[in-house]
Amino acid sequence: MDCMITKLNDKDQFISKIKASDSTLGQFYNFDAMSENSYSERLSAPNNGREAALAQVIKNYMSDLTLTEKQTENITRLSKGAKVVIGGQQAGLFGGPLYTFHKIFSIITLSEKLSNDYNTNVVPVFWIAGEDHDFDEVNHTYAYNAQIAKLQKVKYHTMTPPEASVSTYYPDKSQLKNALTQFFKEMNETQHSKPLIDMCTKIIDQYDCWTDMFKALLNEVFKAYGLLMIDANDAELRQLEQPFIKKIIKNHKDVDASFRNNQINTVASGLEKMIQTDTNVHLFLQEDNMRQLLLFKDNQFYLNKSDKYISEKALLNIVETEPERFSNNVVTRPIMEEWLFNTVAFVGGPSEIKYWTELSDVFNTLDVSMPIVLPRLRISYMYTRTEKLLAQYQLNESSIIENGIGEDKDRFIRANASQTFLDNVEEMKKQQEKLFTSLQSEVLGNNDNQLLLEKNNNIHQNQYDYLIKRYLLNIERENEISMKHFKELSETLHPMGGLQERIWNPLQIMNDFGIDVFSPSTYPPLSYTFDHIIIKP
C-alpha cells in the first residue's frame, strides 16, 4: 500500500490555528500542541492514583474478547501508571463512518510516536460513547454501489428505538442480519466478501448489546495494535466515577457558571460557538427507562421528560446506590474522561476539538487538568479505477477531495459545447438589455407600462438563460458515459459534499482490499500530520 500526503486548503482555519500555535487558542487550551515541552510536561505529570482500579475495569470490560499479548501488556502498563492517548466515538452501525477507524489510527500513531520519542510506554485507549441515546445518529451507514455509481443508505430498522443509552440497547438480531445482507448486496462481491460477512455474522450471534457488537468489530481490526477500549456507560466504570459524579452535583452551579462564562469568552475572541445545551447541571439520569437531562430549578433538581423533582440528598443517594444510572453530557464528559485517565493527549474530530475551548474553565472549577488537544488524522482511499479516471480527464485528486467535481464537470461540458452558440446567446442577452434600456425612456412616468416592460424583459432574459441551460443539459446527455465517470469520482472522493471518511463505511474498504487491510502487516505506517493522507491500497 502506498501512502502520500496532500495539502488541502482548510475552509475552517481552526486546525491551522493549532498548527500555528495561535495565541487565541492559547487562552483556552492549557498546552501548545506544537511544543515538545507540552509533551514532556504531560508525560512527567503525577498520576491520579486511579490507574490500577481503572486498568482492572478495562480488563473486565474486555474480558469477553480474545486479547492479544500486546493488549494484555498494555493493561498491565496502564495499571502501573502508563500515560494514555485517548479519543472516542459513538457506536455506529457496522463500525460507523470511516473516520471512526481514522480516529483510532490517530490514537495508535501518536501513542507509538510518544513511546518511541520519550522512551516510555504510552497506551492507546478508545472511549466508546455508549451513554449516548441519539439512536438516529448510529442506526445507519452507506454502501457504495459501483454499478450505478451511487451511495446507498443502509439502516437498521426498528419500531422501538431506544430512549435510553445505546449501551443498554439489545437489537433484533434478525433485523441486524437483514441490514448486513442489504449492505453487502449493494457492494461488489469480492473474494473478501464471504469471510467478512462471516466475521460480522459471528459477532452478531455472539454478542447481544449494540455497543458490545461495535466493540467486538473494533477489536477484530485493531487488537494487533494493542488498543484498549472502554464503554463510557460501563456499570463498573460508574462505580469508579462515584466521587466525581457527586462533586459535579454538589458544584453544579459553579460548573454551569464556568461553562457559560468560558463560552462567552471564546465567542468574544472570534471563535465559533459550538456547545448548545439548556441544562444547568450537565448530567443525565436514567429514570422511567429514559435517559433524562437533569436541570436545577425551583431550588430542586428536575427531570426533563418525567416532570419529576428530586432533592440533592436523594440524588446523592442514587449516586451511592446506583451510579450506573448517571451519565455525562457534552460539557462534563471530557472532564470525567480526564479525571479517570492519566492523559498526554486527547485526539478528536474537527468539531470535537472546538468544544474543548469552551471547557477550560470547567476543568479548572473541577480541579482536573486539561491534556494536549489534537485533531485526528484525515484519510482518503484511492482506488486504481479512480486514478485511471483522474488521468483520463486530467483532473487533480486534491482539488476534488477538497472542492468536489462540480467545476471540472462544468468545464468538460462547456468544452464539448459550441462556444459560438454560447457566445451568440450571450450577445442576444446583451442586445435585449440594450433594447430594454432604450424603451424605458418611452414609458417614463407611466407605472403600468414600466411594469409591463420590466416583466417582458425578465421573461426574455429568463428564456435565454433557459436556452443555455437546456443546451448544456443536452450536451451532458450526449456524454452519458463521461457523466457517470464524474459521478463516480464525486461519490468516491467527495461524497455528499464532504470528505470520503465522513460517509463511507470501513467494511467497504475491507470488502474491496481484504479483511486484513487495516492490520499492521498491510496498512502503511502513518506519521501524525495535520495534512490530508491519501492511501492507495
DSSP class of 381: E
- What are the counts of helices (DSSP H) followed by strands (DSSP E) for the chain? 22, 15
Residue 199 to residue 184: CA distance in whole angstroms: 13
Residue 436 pLDDT: 93
Phi first, then psi: give them for residue 30, nearest 5 degrees: -75, -25
pLDDT digits (tens, 9 = 90+) for 54-107: 999 999 999 999 999 999 999 999 999 999 999 999 999 999 999 999 999 999
- Write down the pLDDT at residue 162: 86
| pLDDT band, residue 2 (cuts 50/70/90) | confident
pLDDT at position 1, please? 75
Question: What pLDDT, on a 0 to 100 scale, did the predictor assign at position 222?
Answer: 98
H/E stretch holding 296 reads strand 290-297
* DSSP 8-state symbol, 504: B
How confident is residue 348, by pLDDT bands cut at 50, 70 and 90?
A: very high
- 378-381: strand order across its sheet: 2-6, 532-536, 378-381
Measured at the CA of 90, the angle between CA 85 and CA 95, to 5 degrees, comes to: 95
Task: Inform me whether the pLDDT recorded for 537 exceeds 80.
Answer: no
* pLDDT tens readout for residues 26-43: 999 999 999 999 999 999
The per-residue pLDDT for 369 is: 96
pLDDT band for position 190 (50/70/90)? very high
The amino acid at residue 86 is I
Position 12 pLDDT exceeds 80: no
| Weakest-pLDDT range from 132-141, 185-194, 404-413 | 132-141
Ramachandran quadrant class, 326 (left: phi over 0; alpha: psi -120 to 50; beta: rest): beta
State the Cα angle at 125 between 120 and 128, rounded to 5°: 175
Kindly report, residue by residue over 104-122, the tens digit of the pLDDT.
Answer: 999 999 999 999 999 999 9
Instruction: Compare 201 and 163 and report the one with higher pLDDT.
Output: 201
Residue 331 — pLDDT band, cuts 50, 70, 90? very high
Q: What is the pLDDT of residue 86?
A: 98
What per-residue confidence (pLDDT) applies to 4? Answer: 84
For the chain, domain boundaries? 2-240+332-376+506-536, 384-502
Write the pLDDT tens digit of every residue in 477-512.
999 999 999 999 999 999 999 999 999 999 999 999
- Model confidence at 13, in pLDDT bands (50, 70, 90)? confident
**d(Cα 535, Cα 383) in Å, to the nearest integer?**
9
pLDDT at 338 over 80: yes
| pTM exceeds 0.85 | yes
Per-residue pLDDT, 140: 97
Residue 307: the pLDDT is 86
Instruction: Encode pLDDT of 236-277 as tens digits.
Output: 999 999 999 999 999 999 999 999 999 999 999 999 999 999
Task: Give the rounded percent of residues in the chain with a pLDDT score beyond 70.
Answer: 100
Mean pLDDT of the chain, nearest integer: 95
Place of cell 486530467: 394
- State the DSSP code for 533: E
Query: Per-residue confidence at 133, pLDDT binned at 50, 70, 90?
Result: confident
